[in-house]
Amino acid sequence: MRLAILTLALSTISGFSHAMDVTACGTVVPERDIAVLQADLDCGVLPVGVTLGRGARLELNGHVLSGGQQAVLADFGAGHAWVDGPGAVTGAEVGITTAADGVSGRGAELRLTDVDLHDNDIGAFADRLRLTRVTAERNLHGLASNFGLTGVDVVASDNTHFGVWSAAGKIKIRRLTATNNGWYGAIATQGGRVTLIDSTVSGNAPAYGAIDISSSRRPSLKNVGCGRSSNSYSVFFTGGTSWNVCADD
Protein backbone atom coordinates (compact mmCIF):
# COMPACT_ATOMS: atom_id res chain seq x y z
CA MET A 1 0.00 0.00 0.00
CA ARG A 2 2.81 2.39 0.94
CA LEU A 3 4.60 1.64 -2.37
CA ALA A 4 1.44 2.40 -4.35
CA ILE A 5 0.96 5.70 -2.51
CA LEU A 6 4.61 6.67 -3.07
CA THR A 7 4.40 5.83 -6.78
CA LEU A 8 1.27 7.94 -7.16
CA ALA A 9 2.86 10.82 -5.27
CA LEU A 10 5.99 10.80 -7.39
CA SER A 11 3.90 10.69 -10.57
CA THR A 12 1.89 13.68 -9.36
CA ILE A 13 5.01 15.67 -8.44
CA SER A 14 6.75 15.03 -11.75
CA GLY A 15 3.71 16.04 -13.77
CA PHE A 16 4.47 13.49 -16.51
CA SER A 17 1.95 10.95 -17.78
CA HIS A 18 2.82 7.48 -19.08
CA ALA A 19 5.33 7.46 -21.96
CA MET A 20 4.00 7.42 -25.52
CA ASP A 21 5.69 5.58 -28.39
CA VAL A 22 7.17 7.47 -31.33
CA THR A 23 7.01 5.26 -34.41
CA ALA A 24 6.42 7.78 -37.21
CA CYS A 25 7.54 11.22 -38.32
CA GLY A 26 5.13 14.03 -37.55
CA THR A 27 4.47 12.88 -33.98
CA VAL A 28 3.37 15.64 -31.61
CA VAL A 29 4.24 15.15 -27.93
CA PRO A 30 1.78 17.07 -25.71
CA GLU A 31 2.85 19.32 -22.87
CA ARG A 32 4.51 17.49 -19.97
CA ASP A 33 4.38 14.10 -21.70
CA ILE A 34 7.24 11.66 -22.26
CA ALA A 35 7.79 10.11 -25.69
CA VAL A 36 10.15 7.25 -26.52
CA LEU A 37 11.56 6.71 -30.02
CA GLN A 38 10.98 3.06 -30.91
CA ALA A 39 13.05 2.79 -34.13
CA ASP A 40 15.36 4.79 -36.38
CA LEU A 41 13.30 7.37 -38.31
CA ASP A 42 14.15 9.23 -41.52
CA CYS A 43 11.86 12.23 -41.91
CA GLY A 44 13.17 13.27 -45.32
CA VAL A 45 12.04 16.77 -46.28
CA LEU A 46 9.12 17.03 -43.84
CA PRO A 47 8.90 20.34 -41.98
CA VAL A 48 9.20 18.67 -38.55
CA GLY A 49 10.14 15.20 -37.38
CA VAL A 50 8.92 15.33 -33.76
CA THR A 51 7.20 18.29 -32.08
CA LEU A 52 7.49 18.80 -28.33
CA GLY A 53 5.06 20.78 -26.22
CA ARG A 54 6.20 22.83 -23.24
CA GLY A 55 7.67 20.58 -20.55
CA ALA A 56 7.72 17.49 -22.82
CA ARG A 57 10.57 14.99 -22.99
CA LEU A 58 11.78 12.95 -25.98
CA GLU A 59 13.88 9.85 -25.25
CA LEU A 60 15.89 8.76 -28.28
CA ASN A 61 16.26 5.29 -26.77
CA GLY A 62 19.46 4.44 -28.68
CA HIS A 63 17.99 5.33 -32.09
CA VAL A 64 18.74 7.82 -34.89
CA LEU A 65 16.33 10.56 -35.92
CA SER A 66 17.30 11.96 -39.31
CA GLY A 67 16.02 14.43 -41.87
CA GLY A 68 13.33 17.05 -41.65
CA GLN A 69 13.70 20.81 -41.76
CA GLN A 70 13.63 20.57 -37.97
CA ALA A 71 14.20 17.05 -36.72
CA VAL A 72 12.94 18.04 -33.25
CA LEU A 73 10.95 21.25 -32.71
CA ALA A 74 10.10 22.44 -29.21
CA ASP A 75 7.10 24.52 -30.22
CA PHE A 76 6.57 27.14 -27.51
CA GLY A 77 7.78 30.63 -26.70
CA ALA A 78 8.71 30.22 -23.03
CA GLY A 79 9.54 27.23 -20.83
CA HIS A 80 11.71 24.21 -21.51
CA ALA A 81 11.76 20.72 -23.02
CA TRP A 82 14.12 17.77 -22.83
CA VAL A 83 15.79 15.49 -25.40
CA ASP A 84 17.60 12.54 -23.81
CA GLY A 85 19.87 9.95 -25.38
CA PRO A 86 21.66 7.88 -26.01
CA GLY A 87 20.88 8.56 -29.63
CA ALA A 88 21.65 10.75 -32.63
CA VAL A 89 20.00 13.52 -34.63
CA THR A 90 21.38 13.97 -38.14
CA GLY A 91 20.71 15.17 -41.68
CA ALA A 92 18.33 18.02 -40.75
CA GLU A 93 18.37 21.73 -41.50
CA VAL A 94 18.19 22.22 -37.73
CA GLY A 95 18.68 19.15 -35.58
CA ILE A 96 16.93 20.33 -32.41
CA THR A 97 15.40 23.79 -32.04
CA THR A 98 12.86 25.86 -30.11
CA ALA A 99 11.27 27.70 -33.03
CA ALA A 100 10.53 26.87 -36.64
CA ASP A 101 11.53 30.37 -37.76
CA GLY A 102 14.53 30.71 -35.45
CA VAL A 103 12.79 33.36 -33.32
CA SER A 104 11.24 32.46 -29.98
CA GLY A 105 10.60 33.85 -26.52
CA ARG A 106 13.53 34.75 -24.32
CA GLY A 107 12.76 31.93 -21.91
CA ALA A 108 12.65 29.00 -24.37
CA GLU A 109 15.25 26.45 -23.24
CA LEU A 110 16.37 23.05 -24.51
CA ARG A 111 17.90 20.57 -22.09
CA LEU A 112 19.89 17.92 -23.95
CA THR A 113 21.61 14.88 -22.44
CA ASP A 114 23.66 12.16 -24.20
CA VAL A 115 22.75 13.40 -27.68
CA ASP A 116 24.98 13.15 -30.78
CA LEU A 117 24.26 15.90 -33.32
CA HIS A 118 26.08 15.40 -36.61
CA ASP A 119 25.83 16.36 -40.29
CA ASN A 120 23.05 18.94 -39.81
CA ASP A 121 23.00 22.52 -41.05
CA ILE A 122 22.69 23.55 -37.38
CA GLY A 123 23.18 20.98 -34.64
CA ALA A 124 21.01 22.65 -31.99
CA PHE A 125 19.58 26.15 -31.58
CA ALA A 126 17.53 27.66 -28.75
CA ASP A 127 17.13 30.82 -26.77
CA ARG A 128 18.95 28.89 -24.04
CA LEU A 129 20.76 25.55 -24.17
CA ARG A 130 21.60 23.33 -21.19
CA LEU A 131 23.87 20.49 -22.29
CA THR A 132 25.16 17.31 -20.64
CA ARG A 133 27.39 14.93 -22.61
CA VAL A 134 26.40 16.41 -25.96
CA THR A 135 28.43 16.05 -29.16
CA ALA A 136 28.10 18.31 -32.20
CA GLU A 137 30.40 17.33 -35.06
CA ARG A 138 30.49 17.80 -38.85
CA ASN A 139 27.56 20.20 -38.87
CA LEU A 140 27.56 23.45 -40.81
CA HIS A 141 27.07 25.24 -37.45
CA GLY A 142 27.52 23.41 -34.15
CA LEU A 143 25.61 24.64 -31.08
CA ALA A 144 23.94 28.06 -30.93
CA SER A 145 21.87 30.06 -28.46
CA ASN A 146 20.41 33.52 -28.36
CA PHE A 147 20.84 34.28 -24.66
CA GLY A 148 22.95 31.63 -22.94
CA LEU A 149 24.55 28.22 -23.19
CA THR A 150 25.69 26.11 -20.24
CA GLY A 151 26.99 22.57 -20.14
CA VAL A 152 29.30 19.83 -18.99
CA ASP A 153 31.18 17.33 -21.17
CA VAL A 154 30.44 19.01 -24.50
CA VAL A 155 32.19 18.32 -27.81
CA ALA A 156 31.82 20.78 -30.69
CA SER A 157 34.46 19.91 -33.29
CA ASP A 158 34.97 19.65 -37.05
CA ASN A 159 32.03 21.91 -37.84
CA THR A 160 32.25 23.98 -41.03
CA HIS A 161 31.55 27.23 -39.18
CA PHE A 162 31.48 27.81 -35.40
CA GLY A 163 31.63 25.25 -32.63
CA VAL A 164 29.67 26.97 -29.84
CA TRP A 165 28.05 30.40 -30.17
CA SER A 166 25.96 32.56 -27.86
CA ALA A 167 24.64 35.54 -29.79
CA ALA A 168 23.90 37.79 -26.80
CA GLY A 169 24.72 35.93 -23.60
CA LYS A 170 27.16 33.77 -21.73
CA ILE A 171 28.81 30.46 -22.55
CA LYS A 172 29.67 28.50 -19.42
CA ILE A 173 30.97 24.95 -19.92
CA ARG A 174 33.02 22.51 -17.87
CA ARG A 175 35.02 20.17 -20.11
CA LEU A 176 34.45 21.57 -23.57
CA THR A 177 36.35 20.17 -26.54
CA ALA A 178 36.09 22.47 -29.56
CA THR A 179 38.70 21.73 -32.20
CA ASN A 180 39.15 22.13 -35.95
CA ASN A 181 36.08 24.27 -36.56
CA GLY A 182 36.11 26.56 -39.60
CA TRP A 183 35.10 29.56 -37.46
CA TYR A 184 35.79 30.26 -33.80
CA GLY A 185 35.62 27.36 -31.37
CA ALA A 186 33.67 29.30 -28.74
CA ILE A 187 32.23 32.77 -29.30
CA ALA A 188 29.98 35.00 -27.19
CA THR A 189 29.00 38.23 -28.95
CA GLN A 190 27.04 41.40 -28.09
CA GLY A 191 28.18 41.69 -24.49
CA GLY A 192 28.52 37.95 -23.89
CA ARG A 193 31.29 36.15 -22.02
CA VAL A 194 33.01 32.79 -22.41
CA THR A 195 33.66 30.87 -19.18
CA LEU A 196 35.43 27.52 -19.53
CA ILE A 197 36.89 25.00 -17.08
CA ASP A 198 39.08 21.97 -17.88
CA SER A 199 38.65 22.46 -21.62
CA THR A 200 40.49 22.31 -24.95
CA VAL A 201 39.73 24.85 -27.68
CA SER A 202 42.31 24.67 -30.44
CA GLY A 203 42.92 24.53 -34.19
CA ASN A 204 39.93 26.71 -35.04
CA ALA A 205 39.26 29.52 -37.55
CA PRO A 206 42.27 29.05 -39.85
CA ALA A 207 40.87 31.69 -42.23
CA TYR A 208 40.01 34.13 -39.42
CA GLY A 209 43.31 34.55 -37.66
CA ALA A 210 43.31 31.15 -35.95
CA ILE A 211 41.06 32.52 -33.18
CA ASP A 212 39.87 29.83 -30.79
CA ILE A 213 37.91 31.93 -28.27
CA SER A 214 36.12 35.20 -29.03
CA SER A 215 34.32 37.00 -26.23
CA SER A 216 32.82 40.48 -25.88
CA ARG A 217 33.88 40.48 -22.22
CA ARG A 218 37.14 39.11 -20.88
CA PRO A 219 36.97 35.27 -20.90
CA SER A 220 37.21 33.36 -17.65
CA LEU A 221 39.41 30.30 -18.26
CA LYS A 222 40.57 27.70 -15.74
CA ASN A 223 42.80 24.89 -16.96
CA VAL A 224 42.01 25.59 -20.60
CA GLY A 225 44.25 24.88 -23.58
CA CYS A 226 43.70 27.42 -26.36
CA GLY A 227 45.78 29.08 -29.07
CA ARG A 228 44.44 32.60 -29.57
CA SER A 229 41.67 34.79 -28.18
CA SER A 230 39.95 37.93 -29.43
CA ASN A 231 37.54 40.56 -28.11
CA SER A 232 35.61 40.60 -31.37
CA TYR A 233 32.10 42.00 -31.01
CA SER A 234 30.67 39.98 -33.89
CA VAL A 235 31.32 36.61 -35.45
CA PHE A 236 32.09 38.47 -38.69
CA PHE A 237 34.47 41.01 -37.11
CA THR A 238 38.11 39.95 -37.10
CA GLY A 239 39.78 43.19 -36.03
CA GLY A 240 39.54 42.73 -32.27
CA THR A 241 42.54 42.72 -29.98
CA SER A 242 43.71 39.81 -27.89
CA TRP A 243 42.54 39.12 -24.35
CA ASN A 244 45.98 37.64 -23.53
CA VAL A 245 44.49 34.49 -22.04
CA CYS A 246 45.61 31.84 -24.59
CA ALA A 247 49.05 30.42 -25.35
CA ASP A 248 49.70 32.39 -28.55
CA ASP A 249 48.12 35.73 -27.58
CA angle 127, 195, 219 (to 5 degrees): 115
For residue 217, the Cα-to-chain-centroid distance in whole angstroms is: 22
pLDDT value of position 239:
61
Note the residue count of the chain: 249
With beta carbons less than 8 A apart as the criterion, state whether 208 and 238 touch: yes
Tens-digit pLDDT profile for residues 24-43: 999 999 999 999 999 999 99
Statement: residue 248 has pLDDT above 50: yes
Q: pTM of the full predicted structure? A: 0.89
Query: Cα-Cα-Cα-Cα dihedral of 207, 210, 212, 215, to 10°?
Result: -80
